[in-house]
């Protein structure tokens, strides 16, 4: 069974930091782009950040300058470093593997998804 497992979520005060990890099992990793998305209650899933197979990255405007995506192909793991967290960052965060090498913000470009990890930012 293919698995993407997120970890690192939790409760943090506004202004704090968290680092999310997502590890892939039984899934080709290094040749594909990876993405992070989030979904808040009552809202649609939204794109946060993506990283290409070669390490190029881009971000949603809402997190640019605060979040950093990175990957370690030797560990089949993608990370999301989240700094200066705000209450509006509260959501379930999902990692996903793309169908292609290059980064994309469209959820339809991702065919494998993790189960999500809750991030709650208190004011």
**Cα–Cα distance for residue pair 68/109, rounded to 1 Å:** 21
**Cα–Cα distance for residue pair 53/100, rounded to 1 Å:** 9
pLDDT of the residue at 85:
98
CA 117, 64, 8: angle at the middle one, nearest 5? 20
Residues near 103 by Cβ (< 8 Å), separated by ≥ 6?
Answer: 33, 35, 50, 51, 52, 56, 57, 58
pLDDT of the residue at 1:
74
pLDDT of the residue at 119:
98
pLDDT tens, per residue, the chain with 123 residues: 778 999 999 999 999 999 999 999 998 999 999 999 999 999 999 999 999 999 999 999 999 999 999 999 999 999 999 999 999 999 999 999 999 999 999 999 999 999 999 999 999
Residues near 77 by Cβ (< 8 Å), separated by ≥ 6?
Answer: 21, 22, 23, 24, 71
SS (H, E, C) 68-94: EEEEEHHHCEEEEEECCCCHHHCEEEE
């Amino acid at each position: 069974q293919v698995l993407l497992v997120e970890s690192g979520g939790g409760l943090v005060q506004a202004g704090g930091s968290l680092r999310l990890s997502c590890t892939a099992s039984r899934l080709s990793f290094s040749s594909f782009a990876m993405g992070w998305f989030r979904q808040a209650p009552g809202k649609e899933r939204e794109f946060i950040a993506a990283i290409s197979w070669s390490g190029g990255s881009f971000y949603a405007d809402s997190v640019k300058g605060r979040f950093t995506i990175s990957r370690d192909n030797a560990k089949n793991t993608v990370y999301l470093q989240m700094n200066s967290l705000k209450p509006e960052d509260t959501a379930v965060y999902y990692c996903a593997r793309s169908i292609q090498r290059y980064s994309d913000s469209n959820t339809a470009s991702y065919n494998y998804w993790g189960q999500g990890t809750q991030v709650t930012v208190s004011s």
